[in-house]
Amino acid sequence: MEFFIILIFILLIGIPIFISYFLFWFLKRRFENRSVKYFSFIPIAVMCYLIISAIFPSSEFFEEDFKEVTNLDFPKSSKIIYKDASYPDQFGDYTSVFAVKCDRENYSRIQNQLTKIGYIKNGEQWNSNEIDEALQKAEANIVNEYSKNESGGKLLYAAFLSDNRTIIFSRVSW
């Protein structure tokens, strides 16, 4: 397992650095213009962007998870107030937890939708540090919980909070 991790590290980090070094050397010898050689750092910049976006996912990532959990598009009037996700493993499995603040109409619509698509009300109760942090951020308590086990190793969860505006979602795959 340690060999695999070292190999991945070499491939993800070493190859872009080697390409940048080779390009820098090639452009420095080929062109007299000094500013051209700085284009060789593009592979390192792309690698850094990909690593940062994987560690700190964008709001669009969580909006896609919202669609997967609810089968609804993310409401335009809603706002993500808390978000956390694990880095995907070698099989693409990850865990995400996020809290959405929406208006009362969407709050009810989402609750009705979950019942329609097979969620079990007050079935499985989930406890995790991420859900506790989302509860602190929302400053409310859980009123109703919905959960669903999907084939392929996915657990989906939604907790509706006492302020009638905030919903905590969690998606776990393995």
pLDDT at site 161: 92
Asked whether the beta carbons of 142 and 165 are under 8 A apart, the reply is no
Say if residue 34 is in the same domain as residue 67. no
CA distance 138 to 152: 31
pLDDT at site 100: 93
Say if residue 114 is in the same domain as residue 142. yes
* Structural domain boundaries, residue 31: 2-55
Q: Average of pLDDT values for 141-146?
A: 89
For residue range 58-83, list pLDDT tens digits in order: 888 899 889 988 989 999 989 999 98
Three-state secondary-structure class, residue 102: coil
In the chain, how many domains are there? 2
Three-state secondary-structure class, residue 111: helix
Cα three-residue angle 136-142-146, rounded to 5 degrees? 125
Say if residue 114 is in the same domain as residue 36. no
For residue range 98-111, list pLDDT tens digits in order: 999 999 999 999 99
